[in-house]
Amino acid sequence: MRLTEFAELTEAEFGRKRADGLLADLVLMELGGRTGREAIDQGVDPKLVWRALCREFEVPPERW
């Protein structure tokens, strides 16, 4: 997944400000105890970060 697609999905699902805050502040154990931003900056596929956020917030699978 490209970062532009990831940004579009997170903004559509959570809103721009909330998505930015979640990526910067929310520590996800599924991502090794990193925030989404840290994981992406360290080379984790944005698709994996997106799925971790979806699971954390119980986003229906059809919107993943």
Closest CA to 3 of 53, 54, 37: 37
Is this structure's pTM higher than 0.85? yes
Where residue 10 falls among pLDDT bands split at 50, 70, 90?
very high
Give the list of residues 6+ apart from residue 7 with CB closer than 8 angstroms, or none.
19
Q: Which domain holds residue 38?
A: 3-57
Closest CA to 50 of 42, 31, 25, 15: 31
Q: Which two tokens stand for residue 57?
A: 């917030």
How much is the CA Rg of the chain, to the nearest whole Å? 10
Report the share of the chain in percent with pLDDT over 70. Answer: 100
Q: Is residue 14 part of a domain?
A: yes
Q: pLDDT tens-digit profile of 22-48?
A: 999 999 999 999 999 999 999 999 999
Read off φ and ψ for residue 55, nearest 5 degrees.
Answer: -65, -45
Total of domains in the chain: 1
Where residue 15 falls among pLDDT bands split at 50, 70, 90?
very high
Q: Is residue 12 part of a domain?
A: yes
Q: Can you give the pLDDT at residue 4?
A: 95
